[in-house]
Amino acid sequence: MTPLQTTGLYDPAFEHDSCGFGLIASIDGKASTWLVDQAFSALAKMSHRGGVNADGITGDGCGVLIYRADTWLRTLAEEASIALASSFAAGLVFLDHDASAAASAQSQLEASLREEGLEPAGWRDVPVSDSPCGPLGLSSRPLIRQIFVNAPSELEEAVFDRALFRARRRAELALAEDAAFYVVSLSAATIGYKAMAAPGQLRAVFPDLQRTELLSSAVTFHQRFSTNTLPNWRLAQPFRMLAHNGEINTIRANRNWALARQPKLHSPLLDLSDIGDHVSRTGSDSQSLDNMFELLVEGGIDLLATSRILVPPAWSADENLDQDLEAFYQYYGLHTEPWDGPAGLVMCDARHAVCALDRNGLRPARWARSDDGHLIVASEAGLWDVPEQHILAKGRLGPGQILAVDLVEHTLLDSAAVDRINAQRAPFRQWLREGVVYLESHLIDPALAAEPMPADMLARFQKQFALTCEERDIVLKTLAETGAEATGSMGDDTPIAVMSQQSRSLYDYFRQGFAQVTNPPIDPLRERLVMSLVSQIGLEGNLFDLSVDSARQVLLSSPVLSQRKLRQLLALPHLVDRQVRIDLYYDEAIGLRKALENVCAQAEEAVAKGAAMVLLSDRYPQPGLTQIHALLATGAIHAHLTRKQLRCDCNLIVETGTARDSHHFACLIGFGATAVYPFLSYQTLFDMNQRGEIKGGENETVHEIGRTYRHGIRKGLLKILSKMGISTIAGYRGAQLFEIIGLDSEVVDMCFPGTPSRISGAGFVDIENEYRAQLARSRNPNYTLPAGGLLKAIPDGEYHMYNPPVVGHLQTAVRSGEMRHYRKYADAVNSRPPSTLRDLLQVRDDCTPISIDQVEPRERVLKRFDSAGMSLGALSPEAHEALAIGMNRLGARSNSGEGGEDPARYGTERSSKIKQVASGRFGVTAAFLASAEVLQIKIAQGAKPGEGGQLPGDKVNPLIARLRYAKPGIGLISPPPHHDIYSIEDLTELIHDLREVNPTALVSVKLVSHAGVGTIAAGVVKAGADLVTISGHDGGTGASPITSIRYAGTPWELGLAETHQTLVMNGLRDRVIVQTDGGLKTGLDVIKAAILGADSFGFGTGPMVALGCKYLRICHLNSCATGVATQNDILRRQHFVGAPEMVQHFFQFIADDVRGLLAGLGLHSLQELVGRTDLLRILPGITAKQGKLDLSRLLRSPEANASVRDYCVAGPLAPGPTDLALATVRDTRAAVANKQGGQFRHAISNVDRAIGGRLSGEIARTWGDQGMVDAPITLTFDGAAGQSFGAWNVGGLNLVLNGEANDGVGKGMAGGRIVVRPVEGVQFATQEASIIGNTCLYGATGGELFAAGRAGERFAVRNSGAVAVVEGVGDHGCEYMTGGTVVVLGRSGLNFGAGMTGGFAYVLDLERNFFDRYNHELVDINRISLEGMENHLQHLRALMQAHIDATGSAWAQQLFSDFRDVLHKVWLVKPKAASLAALNSELREAA
Partner 1 sequence: MSERPFPFLKFARALPAEVSIPIRVADFKEINRDFVDGEAADQASRCIDCGNPYCSWGCPLGNRIPQWLKLVKDGRIEDAATLMHETNPLPEICGRVCPQDRLCEGICTLDEGFGAVTIGAIERSVTDEAIKRGWRPPEATSRTDKRVAIIGAGPAGLSAADRLVRAGVSADVYDRHEEIGGLLTFGIPAFKLEKDIVRTRRRVLEEQGVRFHLGVEIGRDIAFGKLVDDYDAVFMATGAYAAVDARLPGQDMPGVIVALPFLIANARHQLGTATDADVLPDLRGKRVVVLGGGDTAMDCVRTSVRLGAERVTCIYRRDEANMPGSRKEVRNAREEGVIFRFLAQPLAIVGNGVVDGVEIAETRLVEDGDERARCEVIKNSSQTIPADVVILSFGFLASPPEWCARFGIETDDNGRLKAGGGSRLPLQTSHAKVFAGGDNVRGADLVVRAVLDGREAARSILSQLNVVA
* Residues at the interface with partner 1 (CB under 8 A): 456, 469, 473, 488-490, 691-693, 776-777, 780-784, 787, 791-796, 800, 802-804, 807, 820, 824, 953-954, 956-958, 968-969, 1110-1114, 1118-1119, 1121-1122, 1128-1131, 1134-1135
What Å distances lie between residue 759 and 505, 836, 1193, CA to CA?
18, 13, 8
CA-to-CA distance for 281 and 642, rounded, in angstroms? Answer: 14
CA-to-CA distance for 952 and 270, rounded, in angstroms? Answer: 59
Closer of 292 and 791 to partner 1 (Cβ): 791
Cβ proximity of 26 and 35 under 8 Å: yes
Cβ proximity of 92 and 85 under 8 Å: no
Closer of 381 and 1109 to partner 1 (Cβ): 1109
Closer of 291 and 1128 to partner 1 (Cβ): 1128
Could you confirm whether 1336 is annotated as catalytic? no
CA-to-CA distance for 587 and 622, rounded, in angstroms? Answer: 10
Phi-psi region of 781 (alpha: psi -120 to 50; beta: other; left: phi over 0): alpha
CA-to-CA distance for 939 and 711, rounded, in angstroms? Answer: 29
CA-to-CA distance for 1010 and 871, rounded, in angstroms? Answer: 24
Alpha helices in 678-797 (DSSP H): 679-690, 705-723, 729-732, 745-751, 764-779
Closer of 538 and 899 to partner 1 (Cβ): 899
Q: How far is the CB of 769 from partner 1 (least distance, A)?
A: 16
Cβ proximity of 560 and 665 under 8 Å: yes
Closer of 353 and 1039 to partner 1 (Cβ): 1039
Strand spans (E) along 1159-1262: 1176-1178, 1238-1244
Q: How far is the CB of 1114 from partner 1 (least distance, A)?
A: 6
3-state secondary structure of 730: helix
CA-to-CA distance for 970 and 952, rounded, in angstroms? Answer: 7
3-state secondary structure of 1239: strand
CA-to-CA distance for 662 and 685, rounded, in angstroms? Answer: 16
Nearest CA to 25 among 38, 14, 44, 15? 38
- DSSP 8-state code for residue 641: H
Beta bridge partners of 1315: 1296, 1346
Cβ proximity of 549 and 541 under 8 Å: yes
Nearest CA to 715 among 500, 486, 932, 513? 486
Nearest CA to 1013 among 1070, 958, 939? 939
CA-to-CA distance for 911 and 904, rounded, in angstroms? Answer: 9
Q: How far is the CB of 1127 from partner 1 (least distance, A)?
A: 9
Give the active site residue among 19, 133, 355, 600: 19
Q: Kindly report the three-state secondary structure assignment for every residue of 915-938.
A: EEECCCCCCCCHHHHHCCCEEEEE
Closer of 94 and 822 to partner 1 (Cβ): 822
Q: How far is the CB of 541 from partner 1 (least distance, A)?
A: 53
CA-to-CA distance for 1016 and 303, rounded, in angstroms? Answer: 32
Q: What is the H or E stretch that residue 355 is in? A: strand 352-357
Cβ proximity of 250 and 279 under 8 Å: no
Closer of 956 and 1166 to partner 1 (Cβ): 956
Q: Kindly report the three-state secondary structure assignment for every residue of 500-532.
A: CCCCCCHHHHEEECCCCCCCCCCCCCCCHHHCE
Evaluated on CA atoms 278, 279, 280, 281, the torsion sign reads: negative
Q: What letter represents residue 745's amino acid? A: S
In sequence order, the 6+-apart residues with CB closer than 8 A to the CB of 34 are none
CA-to-CA distance for 379 and 344, rounded, in angstroms? Answer: 8
In sequence order, the 6+-apart residues with CB closer than 8 A to the CB of 920 are 898, 948, 949, 972, 973, 974, 975, 1339, 1358, 1376
**How crowded is residue 159: how many other Cβ atoms within 10 Å of its Cβ?**
15
Closer of 364 and 1079 to partner 1 (Cβ): 1079
Q: Virtual CA dihedral for 819, 821, 824, 826, nearest 10 degrees?
A: -50
Closer of 442 and 691 to partner 1 (Cβ): 691
Q: How far is the CB of 766 from partner 1 (least distance, A)?
A: 22
Cβ proximity of 1063 and 1018 under 8 Å: yes
Closer of 956 and 1396 to partner 1 (Cβ): 956
- DSSP 8-state code for residue 757: B
Q: How far is the CB of 781 from partner 1 (least distance, A)?
A: 4
Closer of 111 and 787 to partner 1 (Cβ): 787
3-state secondary structure of 113: helix
Q: What letter represents residue 879's amino acid? A: A
Q: How far is the CB of 776 from partner 1 (least distance, A)?
A: 7
Closer of 791 and 1195 to partner 1 (Cβ): 791
Q: How far is the CB of 780 from partner 1 (least distance, A)?
A: 5
Q: How far is the CB of 795 from partner 1 (least distance, A)?
A: 4
Closer of 629 and 800 to partner 1 (Cβ): 800
> Which residues carry out catalysis?
19
